[in-house]
Amino acid sequence: MRDFSGDTALISLNTATVQAQWTLEQCIEGCARHGIGGIAPWRDKLAECGAGRAAAMIRDAGLRVSGLCRGGMFPAATPAGRQAALDDNRRAVDDAAAIGAECLILVVGGLPEGSKNIAGARAQVRDGIAALLEHSRAAGMPLAIEPLHPMYAADRACVNTLKQANDLCDALGSGVGVAVDVYHVWWDPDLEAEIARAGAASRILGFHVCDWLVPTTDLLLDRGMMGDGVIDIPKIRGWVEAAGYDGASEVEIFSKDNWWRRDADEVLATCVQRHQTAV
């Protein structure tokens, strides 16, 4: 396994981790200050900054862009809604390319409004990604399907296991891979085997870390700092690295009552420190 104690360059900051405190400009400067080698912006922060200015700042700071968050949200109740989603995803691909992102993260979407047809939603996801692939392949931008914990199946992502994501990749062909976020997949009894399967196909495009708190008090905004919860992160990182992944360890913590209320430099310093003890 790789050693993060001497090489903080392998750490990436997902801007969600300090989204309440910092702009994208401040995140870029903060990464440089703390020796964090990568950044993963969300599109709202990127839009505030402007993709051109962000690209220049990121380049000047020497940061890698481990991913752009996010595309996806493919299912919709009407053809017009699905077309609008596809158009937005094409813009997301262009944004990702503009800042030199290593992949575009896909949070694929849940049930269309008024629907109880999850199989139909999953078919819309498959068709949506397939429709996006011509544009993303032409842009040279890999699409990273991120399976989300099943508690988000209705409203955020109906792809909920790494097996589902691997099956989608097999069906869709080149230009698409997976992002492994420990928060979403740590509980899965098939995780080790599906990570190996993804690695054998060279399709692990991202590795996201945070922790699962007990109890979790908010379904979306109560993620823990690595080491504060119950996920055996080093074990999962070992599987991912054994499968050939050599990209960044991206910290992605949504924490409205804790980490979003702290001084952002303290948050980044803690992220670096926990990479030595809990990742």
- Applying CB under 5 A, the residues found at the interface with Zn ion are 181, 208, 252
Beta bridge partners of 68: 104
Q: Which lies closer to Zn ion via its Cβ, residue 112 or residue 268?
A: 268
Q: Which is nearer to Zn ion, 66 or 136 (CB)?
A: 66
> In angstroms, what is the minimal distance from the CB of 40 to Zn ion?
9
Of the two residues 112 and 271, which places its CB atom closer to Zn ion in the complex? 271
Q: Is 80 left (phi over 0), alpha (psi -120 to 50) or beta?
A: alpha
Min separation Cβ 89 and Zn ion, Å: 17
- What is the DSSP secondary-structure string of 165-191? HHHHHHHH-TTEEEEEEHHHHTT-TTH
Q: Which is nearer to Zn ion, 73 or 112 (CB)?
A: 73
Q: What is the DSSP letter of 206?
A: E
In the complex, least distance from residue 115 CB atom to Zn ion, rounded to whole angstroms = 25
Give the residue among 237, 239, 261 at the shortest CA–CA distance from 251: 237
Helix or strand run (H / E) with residue 55 = helix 51-61
The SS3 of residue 96 is: helix
Q: Residue 22 to residues 15, 75, 118: CA-CA distances in angstroms?
A: 8, 32, 37
**At closest approach, how far in Å is the CB of 181 from Zn ion?**
3
Burial of 25 (0-12, 13-18, 19+ CB in 10 A): middle
Q: Please state the closest distance from residue 162 (CB atom) to Zn ion, in A.
A: 13
d(CA 71, CA 43): 9
Which of 208/237 has CB closer to Zn ion? 208
Looking at the Cβ atoms of 124 and 249, the one nearer to Zn ion is 249
Q: How far is the CB of 208 from Zn ion (least distance, A)?
A: 4
